[in-house]
Amino acid sequence: MPEVRQEYKMHSLPSVFLMEAMLSDEMVNDLNDYLDDLLNQKDRVSHAGTLVGQIGNGEQLTMDYNHPKLAKFNELIQIMGADYIKNFAGSTVNPFKENRLVETDELWSVHSFAGDYNPIHDHGTKTLMGISCTCWTKVPQQILDQPTSGTSEYGLYNSSGHSDGCITFQYGQGSLMDTERLRPPQMVIMKPEVGKFFMFPSWLQHSVYPFKGDGERRTVAANLNVWRIADDGTKH
């Protein structure tokens, strides 16, 4: 008896858009130059009061996105934010009825050392539609030497330490039985690299694991407002 077959196609139903890029060495150097100067200022402003990061050994600092040294970075994240919105709009069946304007809301740095971590959280913006981004300008060598998630060398058992210093993005409730239930992963683990940049919707929950050993894990993060632009040019 011939095998019964039927043509079919599979649909992957995306839960979230995660934009990834690599910053130029020049831009990473500009960010580090700015932050090195900032760390030497006695009147530097802590950003810890608005962040959940458990940074006991390092600092979380407010960055002035209007500073000349940050001009290229600030321009870049707003351009990428506009591209993010454009890509999202192209995927939805409900197109935006108004034009959108992306503007930086706040910019800060996180200087993490051994034992520092960031519990699961999301971000807030002044607008209902908001975008956040994060990138790394310094990463300890022991983190860089770890296997990358998804490779055959990667594993979380036997105190492997393979997730040390990594960031996780969680877009649903997962469990260890998801594979047996034919349920796709509800989170991704990303290893930091110098210059690596991620942009995501501000509602996306994420966390950062602590790490052991020497060195600084230096992060730059931002929140961006996405304003609706009315026909008369006002934003709301």
* Model confidence pLDDT, tens digit, residues 96-115: 778 899 999 999 999 999 99
Query: Can you give the C-alpha Rg of the chain in angstroms?
Result: 20
- pLDDT tier for residue 158 given thresholds of 50, 70 and 90: low
Within 10 A of 50 (CB to CB), how many other CB atoms are there? 12
Local structure of 69: helix, strand or coil: helix
Q: Which domains does the chain have, with CATH numbers?
A: 19-229 (2.60.120.620)
pLDDT single digits (tens) 116-137: 999 999 999 999 999 999 999 9
pLDDT class for 202, splitting at 50, 70, 90?
A: very high
Q: Are 140 and 111 in contact (CB under 8 A)?
A: no
Q: What is the model's pTM?
A: 0.90
pLDDT score for 133: 96
Q: How much is the pLDDT for 222?
A: 98
Q: Which residues pair with 118 in a beta bridge?
A: 208
Mean pLDDT across the chain, nearest whole number? 89
Tell me, what's the pLDDT at 10?
A: 63
Instruction: Compute how many other C-beta atoms are within 10 angstroms of the C-beta atom of residue 11.
Output: 5
Query: How would residue 55 be classed by pLDDT, with cut points 50, 70 and 90?
Result: very high
Average pLDDT over residues 188-210: 95
Give per-residue pLDDT as tens, 69-97: 999 999 999 999 999 999 888 877 677 77
Quick check: 167 pLDDT over 60? yes
> What span, in angstroms and rounded, lies between the C-alpha atoms of 217 and 113?
6
Report the run of H or E that residue 122 belongs to, with start and end.
none
Q: Which of 13-22, 46-55, 195-204 has the highest mean pLDDT?
A: 195-204
pLDDT of amino acid 49: 85
Residue 145 has pLDDT above 70, yes or no: yes
Q: What pLDDT score was predicted for residue 11?
A: 62
6 pLDDT higher than 60: no
CB of 192 closer than 8 Å to CB of 165: yes
